[in-house]
Structure 1
Amino acid sequence: MKKIAILFLLVILAAVGAVGCGKADEASTSKTLKIGIRGSESRTWDFVKEQAQKEGLSIELVQLNANVNPNTVLLEGDIDANAFQHVAFLDQFNQKNNSEIVPVGSTIIAPLGIYSDKFKKIEEIPDNAKIAVPNDDSNWGRSLVLLQEAGLIKVVDNFDGFGGADKIKENPKHLEIVPVDGATTPRVMKDVAASIINNGVAVEAGFLLKDSIFHESNTAKPYINIIATTKQNENREDLKKLVEIYQSKAVSDFITETYKGNYIPTQVTVDELKNFKSAYASK
Structure 2
Amino acid sequence: MRKLGSVFIVLLLASLLVACGEEETGDAAIDEKNIVVGVTSGPQEEIAEVAAEVAAEEFGLEVELKVFSDYVLPNTALSEGDLDLNSYQHGPFLDQFNEDHGTDLVPVGKTILNPMGIYSETYESIEDLPDGAKFGLPNDPTNGGRALFILEEAGVITLEEGKAETASIHDVVDNPKNLEFIELDAAQIPKQLSEVDVAAINTNFALEAGISPKEDSILLESTNSPYVNYIVVRAENEDDPTVEKFVQAYQSDKVKTFIEEEFQGSIIPSWDE
Do these two structures clear the TM 0.5 threshold for a shared fold by scoring above it? yes
Looking at structure 2, the residues matched to 29 and 116 of structure 1 have their Cα atoms a distance apart, in angstroms, of 47
RMSD across aligned C-alpha pairs, in angstroms?
A: 1.6
Q: Report the 3-state secondary structure (helix = DSSP H, G, I; strand = E; otherwise coil) of the residue aligned with 1:44.
A: helix
Cα shift readout 1:94-128 (whole Å, capped 9, x = no counterpart) = 11111110000010000010000000111101111
Q: Report the 3-state secondary structure (helix = DSSP H, G, I; strand = E; otherwise coil) of the residue aligned with 1:111.
A: coil
CA apart distance, 1:219: 5.0
Distance 1:268 1:100, change over 3 A: farther
Output aligned runs, 1:99-178, within 5 Å: 99-159=103-163, 161-178=165-182
Distance 1:179 1:211, change over 3 A: same
Looking at structure 2, the residues matched to 160 and 229 of structure 1 have their Cα atoms a distance apart, in angstroms, of 27
Q: Percent identity?
A: 39
Output aligned runs, 1:1-283, within 5 Å: 29-40=31-42, 41-55=44-58, 56-66=60-70, 69-159=73-163, 161-209=165-213, 210-218=215-223, 220-221=225-226, 223-267=227-271
> Equivalent residue for 2:8?
none
Amino acid at match of 2:39: I
- Tell me the TM-score normalized by structure 1: 0.82
Conserved in 1, the CA contact under 8 Å of 2:31 and 2:242? no
Distance 1:235 1:29, change over 3 A: same
- Tell me the TM-score normalized by structure 2: 0.85
Give the total of aligned pairs. 241
CA apart distance, 1:67: 7.9
Q: Report the 3-state secondary structure (helix = DSSP H, G, I; strand = E; otherwise coil) of the residue aligned with 2:111.
A: strand
Cα shift readout 1:22-55 (whole Å, capped 9, x = no counterpart) = xxxxxx9524110001112222111111111111
CA apart distance, 1:218: 4.5
Looking at structure 1, the residues matched to 166 and 197 of structure 2 have their Cα atoms a distance apart, in angstroms, of 23
Conserved in 2, the CA contact under 8 Å of 1:132 and 1:195? yes
Which runs of 5 or more structure 2 residues have no equivalent in the other structure?
A: 1-29
Distance 1:213 1:67, change over 3 A: closer
Q: Report the 3-state secondary structure (helix = DSSP H, G, I; strand = E; otherwise coil) of the residue aligned with 1:84.
A: strand
Q: Report the 3-state secondary structure (helix = DSSP H, G, I; strand = E; otherwise coil) of the residue aligned with 2:89.
A: coil
Q: Which piece of structure 1 moves more, 64-73 or 107-116?
A: 64-73
Q: Report the 3-state secondary structure (helix = DSSP H, G, I; strand = E; otherwise coil) of the residue aligned with 2:165.
A: coil
Q: Report the 3-state secondary structure (helix = DSSP H, G, I; strand = E; otherwise coil) of the residue aligned with 2:166.
A: coil
Amino acid at match of 2:49: D
Looking at structure 1, the residues matched to 232 and 31 of structure 2 have their Cα atoms a distance apart, in angstroms, of 21
Which runs of at least 4 in structure 1 moved beyond 6 Å after TM superposition? none
Amino acid at match of 1:35: V
Distance 1:75 1:134, change over 3 A: same
Conserved in 2, the CA contact under 8 Å of 1:145 and 1:219? no
Larger radius of gyration: 1
